[in-house]
């Protein structure tokens, strides 16, 4: 158990809809990262928050947004969903704001999103 909690584990929805994925980081971790894993793809970095503020942005679509709340949990909002958004979405956490070469990320078990 990594200590990172993601809910829900599975989500099935229709095109055009909006969903929210939730992540609670490990106790004491201030950074939360969101990654997307599509079929046969590696984990693609979407966005990072550190202590409530956006720290880094990757290949995140404009239809997607995220935030980190004062209790450090994070939510990833996906709107106007398309078939191609079907993927496994991972949340990870780390203790610092990132940038340390040897920093380890601890991953949740992911949310499997299926857009029909």
Partner 1 sequence: DQQVKQNSPSLSVQEGRISILNCDYTNSMFDYFLWYKKYPAEGPTFLISISSIKDKNEDGRFTVFLNKSAKHLSLHIVPSQPGDSAVYFCAARGTSGSARQLTFGSGTQLTVLP
> Do 2 and 106 touch, CB atoms closer than 8 A?
yes
Contact with partner 1 (CB under 8 A) among 22, 56, 67, 73: 56
Counting contacts by CB under 8 A, is residue 105 touching partner 1?
A: yes
Q: Which of residues 64-83 bind partner 1 (CB under 8 A)?
A: none
Contact with partner 1 (CB under 8 A) among 34, 35, 49, 50: 35
Specify which residues 20 forms β-bridges with.
77
Q: Which is nearer to partner 1, 8 or 58 (CB)?
A: 58
Counting contacts by CB under 8 A, is residue 101 touching partner 1?
A: yes
d(CA 57, CA 42): 17
Q: Which stretch binds partner 1 (CB under 8 A): 24-32, 62-70, 77-85, 105-113?
A: 105-113
Alpha-carbon separation of residue 102 from 33, 61, 94, 95, 105 (angstroms): 16, 28, 11, 12, 10
């Amino acid at each position: 158990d990594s200590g990172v909690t993601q809910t829900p584990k599975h989500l099935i929805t229709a095109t055009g809809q909006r969903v929210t994925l939730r992540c609670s980081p490990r106790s004491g971790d201030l950074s939360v990262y969101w990654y997307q894993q599509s079929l046969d793809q590696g984990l693609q970095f979407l966005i990072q928050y550190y202590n409530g503020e956006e720290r880094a942005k990757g290949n995140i679509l404009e239809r997607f947004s995220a935030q980190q709340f004062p209790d450090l949990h994070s939510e990833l909002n996906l709107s106007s969903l398309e078939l191609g958004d079907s993927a496994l979405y991972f949340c990870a956490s780390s203790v610092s704001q990132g940038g340390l070469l040897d920093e380890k990320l601890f991953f949740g078990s992911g949310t499997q999103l299926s857009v029909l």
